[in-house]
A and B are shown apart, each in its own frame.
Chain A
């Protein structure tokens, strides 16, 4: 039990301090209410017990409603955007995994006749030779130019109760290759395919404007073919295909070489520049432009006389999950309830009234109803904003009925303002996505609440005591 309390203090320090402080004030207030009966020990002990029960009742009441709201969050999350590794792996196997395109490799070799000396018994005799044929590698940097154009169309995929960031790719890769040696060579061209990818369509390889599909040899995750190249012959290799993938894409030069005249353009149809992100180990583009309609991005990597084995590509953000806005509001609802109840209790106590537990319980129930209603109807009738407005309106109306008979008009007004703030404005803070913004809002709100309590205390101590302050 103590562990749980300490843990709660660590997770929600502000609200826990506020609730404990409220419980202490509640205890003190309840204890003092019986002061006129002070005298013997047993009545005094009874006052202690009753005050303790009041404080415990306050804490228990809040815990119970927090448990309901936490359960509401968990239930909603389990059916709205609960991303899991199992579902993701399954989506990868069905639609396609992250697409990684490794560069074409060209290796040259040629047959040479070499004279091999025949070992002799007498070292003083002149050497004798025989001619043998060998296949020798001709090391060279054959790729002298590259122009790649990749069009990425985002296509979110649903698996389980969540959306995953799928995409469709149209790839066109143009390589300028050269046999930079003075020999006629056998050039072996190997084009790696993205490992384990589910589908390649319209796969065409052209060399010097001729379709060489019949010469292609397919093996696991690679395509290769052999051509004869004359000394200093230049050729153009064009490889086109369509494929699909998920989460991220990158193009990579696998081994260090001098990269010349390299241009890779990646067009993404529905990812604005402000949302661009890159996979680990990927270099940033040399140029970033928005697409013509402003909804997408055009990334260009232009390199010359360069060395890199880092990838070039993009990481897609997690798509907006169904019910994401509702979920973000629901997540803060237990916190909001604790704050509202604590502030309401402190307001009444500072005002000189006893806390009416029935009213507090009903307000907690009415406030919780707003979030239960949101979770229940947002999928069917009104969407996020409609559910929020309907829930808030109902909560405000019921709160009005609940406190309309309070004798003090200023207190009524203060309570209505408090309820309106926690019903309308505070839930909207859940829509803040940046951690820095969330922290700033929470800090400012804590400052506001401290100012409110201080101001209320000063106001209450300065006003005339109300006659009707009994429960």
Chain B
């Protein structure tokens, strides 16, 4: 550190605390003036020696005030490092936050149920012959085609976020346990029987889902996990309606989001979000 750095340090301090630095400047100048006058006029000290002694005394006082300021500032920084916000690396709150994230994940992002219905159609496929000069070959193939329809005609969602005690103080993060109960009304509005694929996305940041129950018209259905979603299939007759109930518990922190990922006509949609702060 050279003189330029010290000058920069002083300059930054003046910018950060203009009032305190102004007062310190006034005190230093006054002290210098009074001491110099006292030493040279009343004590009879020569001008040169008086100047040096006054300068030394003034610098000593200013340095002591500066070091005390530095000491208090250092104490504040140390205290902040321990008890500061959860965004301060190494603080108690930050460690709790990291631990929560590692164990239970971050903010919760719930995307809406996706329902895709397919009908099977038979068509002829041209098989390219191995000899280009030969006539083309044909075979019948059955292919599934998605049916364009708005399958979800009603939704009732109840979400309860229970704030986890001990974490959600001022300057700390907001951890919560989440209980969700979603009910969907599904319809096959086409005139043909369809194979319906149901994909219920799970939040990518969540580490643990528990007590997952999925019922269709009151009966539990088996399901699999594929592509970060709970997946099951069913066959729907023309005009058939189903009521799907999805319940689970999970954990998150700071934010909760329910999202309808694709534009569709939203009918009979009701989502209730309750906050339970008993543990706070």
Q: Give the residues in chain B near A180, CB-CB below 8 Å.
A: 222
| Interface residue from B75, B136, B139 paired with A118 (Cβ < 8 Å) | B139
Q: Give the residues in chain B near A121, CB-CB below 8 Å.
A: 135-138
Is B102 within 8 A of A120, CB to CB? no
Closest-by-CB residue of A relative to B250 is A307
B64 contacts the other chain (CB 8 A): yes
B81: shortest Cβ distance to chain A, in Å?
Answer: 9
CA distance A439 to B79 in the complex (A): 8
A460: shortest Cβ distance to chain B, in Å?
Answer: 20
A37 contacts the other chain (CB 8 A): no
Q: Which of B179-187, B203-211, B262-270 contacts A (4 or more CB under 8 A)?
A: B203-211
B67 contacts the other chain (CB 8 A): yes
B6: shortest Cβ distance to chain A, in Å?
Answer: 8
Is B124 within 8 A of A283, CB to CB? no
Q: Which of A13-21, A152-160, A327-335 contacts B (4 or more CB under 8 A)?
A: A13-21
Q: Give the residues in chain A near B103, CB-CB below 8 Å.
A: 278, 281-284, 310
Given contacts A9-B70, A13-B74, contact A123 B124 (CB under 8 A): yes
A41 contacts the other chain (CB 8 A): yes
A6 contacts the other chain (CB 8 A): yes
B223 contacts the other chain (CB 8 A): yes
Is B46 within 8 A of A305, CB to CB? no
| Interface residue from A119, A139, A140, A280 paired with B138 (Cβ < 8 Å) | A119
Is B104 within 8 A of A283, CB to CB? yes
B202 contacts the other chain (CB 8 A): yes
Given contacts A14-B71, A306-B208, A308-B207, contact A21 B64 (CB under 8 A): yes
B214: shortest Cβ distance to chain A, in Å?
Answer: 9
B254 contacts the other chain (CB 8 A): no
326-347 of chain A: CB within 8 A of chain B: none
- Count CB-based A-B contacts (< 8 Å): 106
A111 contacts the other chain (CB 8 A): no
B5: shortest Cβ distance to chain A, in Å?
Answer: 9
CA distance A309 to B207 in the complex (A): 7
CA distance A121 to B99 in the complex (A): 67
Q: Give the residues in chain B near A435, CB-CB below 8 Å.
A: 82
B235 contacts the other chain (CB 8 A): no
Is A41 within 8 A of B46, CB to CB? yes
| Interface residue from B2, B60, B127, B210 paired with A119 (Cβ < 8 Å) | B127
| Interface residue from A117, A255, A258 paired with B223 (Cβ < 8 Å) | A258
B249: shortest Cβ distance to chain A, in Å?
Answer: 9
Q: How large is the interface on B (under 10, 10 to 19, 20 to 34, 35 or more residues)?
A: 35 or more
A31: shortest Cβ distance to chain B, in Å?
Answer: 9
Closest-by-CB residue of A relative to B2 is A2
A449 contacts the other chain (CB 8 A): no
Is A282 within 8 A of B137, CB to CB? no
B225 contacts the other chain (CB 8 A): yes
A199 contacts the other chain (CB 8 A): no
Chain B positions 3 through 46: 1 when the CB is less than 8 Å from some CB of chain A, otherwise 0: 00000000000000000000000000000000000000000001
Q: Give the residues in chain A near B135, CB-CB below 8 Å.
A: 121
B63: shortest Cβ distance to chain A, in Å?
Answer: 8
Q: Give the residues in chain A near B222, CB-CB below 8 Å.
A: 141, 180
A257 contacts the other chain (CB 8 A): yes
CA distance A350 to B67 in the complex (A): 21
| Interface residue from A6, A119, A141 paired with B224 (Cβ < 8 Å) | A141
A227: shortest Cβ distance to chain B, in Å?
Answer: 22
Q: Give the residues in chain A near B275, CB-CB below 8 Å.
A: none
Closest-by-CB residue of A relative to B134 is A121
Q: Give the residues in chain A near B121, CB-CB below 8 Å.
A: none
Closest-by-CB residue of B relative to A20 is B67
Interface residues of A (CB under 8 A from B): 2-3, 6, 9-10, 13-14, 17, 20-21, 24, 41, 44, 117-123, 127, 139-141, 180, 255-258, 278, 280-284, 303-310, 435-436, 439, 443
Interface residues of B (CB under 8 A from A): 1-2, 46, 49, 60, 63-64, 67-68, 70-71, 74-75, 78-79, 82, 92, 99, 102-104, 124, 127, 135-141, 202, 207-213, 222-225, 228, 230
Could you name 9 residue pairs across A and B whose Cβ atoms are closer than 8 Å?
Answer: A13-B75, A24-B64, A120-B137, A123-B124, A256-B225, A258-B223, A283-B208, A305-B210, A305-B213
Other 11 A-B pairs with CB < 8 A, given A283-B104, A307-B212: A2-B1, A20-B63, A24-B60, A24-B64, A121-B138, A141-B222, A256-B202, A257-B225, A258-B212, A258-B225, A307-B209
Q: Which 7 A-B pairs have the closest CB atoms?
A: A119-B137, A123-B138, A256-B225, A13-B74, A119-B127, A307-B209, A310-B207
